[in-house]
Copies of this chain bind each other. A is one copy, B any other.
Amino acid sequence: MNAFTFYSPTLFAFGEGAEKRTGELVRQFGGHHALLVYGGGSVKRNGAYDAVTDALRDADITWAELGGVQPNPRSGLVYEGIDLCHRAGTDFILAIGGGSAIDTAKAIGFGAPYDGDFWDIFTGKAKLEQCMPVGVVLTIAAAGSEGSNSCVITQENGNMKWGSPKSDLIRPRFAVLNPRYTCTLPAYQTACGAVDMFSHICERYFSNTPDVALTDRLCEALLKTVLDAAPRALANPDDIAARSDLMWTSTLAHNNSVGVGRDQDWASHQIEHELSAFYDCAHGAGLAVVVPAWMEYVMRHDVARFARFAVNVFGAEMDYANPERTAREGIRRLRVFFAELGMPATLSEVGGNEKDIPAIIAHRREKPNGFPFGGFVKIGPDDMEAILRLCAK
């Protein structure tokens, strides 16, 4: 186990009716005049918007609004939100929705107090030194941004989907999690969320750090929960037990509870960010294509770990004489699982084209520290090409 610091000061209010606490929580963390950040109609249709604004009114919190957040959230809305904060005297940013709303709120949170272009903080030109308090009312179980120390924004000028620096300053002060609001999600979005959280755990699970028995077991507990709960939520969208399991798993999958003390990978996420930047596909859908291909490509690096994954997560029988067969069986079962969720399996199914691969790799090179990436296996341009070719099969 490596040395680590674990600091997760977000207050999580979980369960039916938790959204009624929003006003009191904004006040508890120093807010008086909030900026509400949300997407489109879904938070209005599912009642979250009304419940939250009622709760704000009850607590004498006033607010301004920034709607229109889209998946793969764009820089344009961040600039707009920063401007709105300055004009409206905002002292608290409240996201209602999923990862896109939260990430927009976080970027506004550290962009507003910075005297310059907020993108400077992504490029490293400026340091992340201050952030306004951010709160969350979560309505999609997926990204885990409600408990995480980072955010991902797409800069429209250059089509760059980049992650912010990691900082405890941008962890939400509180997150209200009522799984009821996830019951009305379209099946495709539920499935994308399940893939996203599954991947967040895998990025931590596939590690070269020795002596990580405890976090290995915690990762497996979460992975098995996704495996069990996601099909139940799809079969019966109102299965509140399954929705609850998915929602809390999505948070634990990404607040680093299960990742402390171990080197992590994150290569699949890096590759997927290029796909969603190119094709504007859903992040979870892109991951469903990339993760199994990545696994196939890197499996021989640590056959024992992939065999363990097959046995402990998917219940495969261990072939002691031929562990590689077991390792492959795990990847096969993962593909079956993603297919059962209705997720795409190939590049073309997310709107991609094998011909674009050189351009995708060239685009990756433009990132600071573009190559190599990945903590489990170092991925250079040739490796990324090979993985994308596996995605195209």
Decide: A5 and B1 in contact? CB cutoff 8 A: no
Among B14, B214, B245, contact of A4 (Cβ-Cβ < 8 Å): B14
> A1-13 interface mask toward B, CB cutoff 8 Å, 1 = contact, 0 = none?
1111111111111
State whether B15 touches A214 (Cβ < 8 A).
no
A88 on interface, CB distance cutoff 8 Å:
no
Tell me the residues in window 249-272 of chain A with beta carbons closer than 8 Å to chain B beta carbons.
249, 257, 260-261
CB–CB A14/B9 < 8 A: no
**Is there a chain B Cβ closer than 8 Å to A339's Cβ?**
no
Closest to A18 in B: B3
Does A229 lie within 8 Å of B245, measured CB to CB? no
Whether A235 sits at the interface, judged by CB under 8 Å, is: no
Q: Assuming A213-B225, A228-B213, A241-B211, is B1 touching A16 (CB within 8 A)? A: no
A225-247 interface (Cβ within 8 A of B): 225, 228-229, 241, 244-245
Interface pick from A65-73, A216-224, A373-381? A216-224
Residues of B with C-beta under 8 A to A17: 3
Interface check A248, CB cutoff 8 A: yes
Q: Determine whether the beta carbon of B14 is less than 8 Å from that of A260.
A: yes
Residues on the B chain within 8 Å of A3, using CB: 14-18
Q: Which of A122-166 contact B (CB under 8 A)?
A: none
Q: Which residues of B contact A221 (CB under 8 A)?
A: 214, 217-218, 220-221
CA distance A210 to B245 in the complex (A): 12
A91 to chain B, nearest CB (A): 21
Please name all residues of chain B whose beta carbon is closer than 8 Å to the beta carbon of A224 when the two chains form the complex: 217
| Given A213-B229, A213-B245, A228-B213, A11:B15 Cβ within 8 A | no
Assess A261 versus B241: contact at CB under 8 Å? Given A2-B15, A14-B5: no
Contact B16 A5 (CB under 8 A): no
Within the assembled complex, what's the spacing in Å between the Cα atoms of A11 and B249?
22
Contact partner of A1 (CB less than 8 A), chosen from B6, B218, B241, is B241
Most-contacted residue by chain B among A8, A222, A257 (CB, 10 A): A8
Q: Hey, which bits of chain A sit against chain B, CB under 8 A?
A: 1-18, 210-211, 213-214, 217-218, 220-222, 224-225, 228-229, 241, 244-245, 248-249, 257, 260-261
Other contacts beyond A1-B245, A7-B9, A211-B244: 5, CB < 8 A: A1-B241, A9-B9, A211-B245, A214-B225, A221-B221
